[in-house]
Amino acid sequence: MKLDDRMDLIFIPTTTGLLKVQVTGFIRLGSLGKVFAELNGITATASGYHRKKTIIQSLTNLHTLILKNN
């Protein structure tokens, strides 16, 4: 990771465990970033240019992975 990279960690407690969201990139407007979402050992990723949309997309991917595993 370079010194000018940005990383945010978001922890959300849920009834089934701790949801961890790691957001990297998105330094300048229109720059590429990646989002990793993890819950109970299941991890989903998404990458894109819009921070909020990419976070929502990774959470959507995590939701579909959880539904497929159960």
% of residues, the chain, pLDDT over 70: 93
Measured CA to CA, the distance from residue 45 to residue 4 in angstroms comes to 22
Q: Which residue has the tokens 């961890």?
A: 20
Q: What is the pLDDT of residues 21-62, one digit of tens each?
A: 999 988 888 889 999 999 999 999 999 999 999 999 999 999
Quick one: pLDDT band at residue 6, thresholds 50, 70, 90?
confident
Kindly give, in sequence order, each residue whose CB lies less than 8 Å from that of residue 54, ignoring residues fewer than 6 positions away: 23, 26, 33, 34, 35, 46, 47, 48
Which domains are delineated in the chain? Answer: 7-69 (3.30.160)
Residue 69, token pair as written in the block: 């595993």
DSSP per-residue letters across 11-50: EEE-SSSEEEEEEEE--STT--EEEEEEETTEEEEEEES-
Give the predicted TM-score (pTM) of the model: 0.86
pLDDT value, residue 31: 87
